[in-house]
Amino acid sequence: MKELHEKQAWLQEVITGRGNLKEKVEKAQQYYSRSIEDTIVSKRGVSAYQRVDIYAAGYVLRLVECLKNDYPYLLKFMGSSLFEVFAKAYLLTLPPNGWSLFNLGRRFPMFLLDTKPTPTAGITPNPSLDIPIEIARLERAITEGWICRGYRRPSYQ
């Protein structure tokens, strides 16, 4: 049973840790004293590294889809490509820290505020950069309102 827990912890570190895949694998190898080959089996010509890469990429894409469902108006306002850039950056900067998908997007409006460009000396601030932040704040408030009342948020798509 200890072996299974060690493998799960190793994989969780590689999937949810910060950095690129190579850095995360190296960190997990050092921390857990187990190599990728000791943890993941190569199958059908797909290396252990490739298998973990596929799984990690799929994990992020699934979480991006969850954020799209939580922020449908922001998605519509920004467009899918731009939304995905911010969603992936959010997930890499502030990885999920709990099991509930309800909490996944809780810090997204603050992330948008924190990453908003700031005007430099002599350049006038652009108030239109606040629009995505305000849309995200409103959508999160709506989601929390529905959940606190025991309802599932309706789909507006």
- For residue 148, CA distances in Å to 111, 139, 151 come to 23, 14, 7
Mean pLDDT to the nearest integer, 51-68:
92
**pLDDT at residue 153, rounded to an integer:** 64
DSSP state of 68: H
DSSP state of 153: P
Q: Across 2-6, 20-24, 35-39, 72-76, which has the greatest mean pLDDT?
A: 72-76
**How do residues 9-48 score in pLDDT, each as one tens digit?**
888 888 888 778 888 889 988 888 888 888 888 888 899 8
Please name the helix (run of DSSP H) or strand (run of DSSP E) that holds residue 110, with its range, or none: helix 108-114
**pLDDT at residue 134, rounded to an integer:** 97
Name the pLDDT band for 149 (thresholds 50, 70, 90): low
User: 31-65 burial string, b = 16+ CB within 10 Å, else e?
Assistant: ebebebeebbeeeeeeebeebbbeebeeebeebbe
Reduce the DSSP state of residue 94 to 3 states and report it: coil
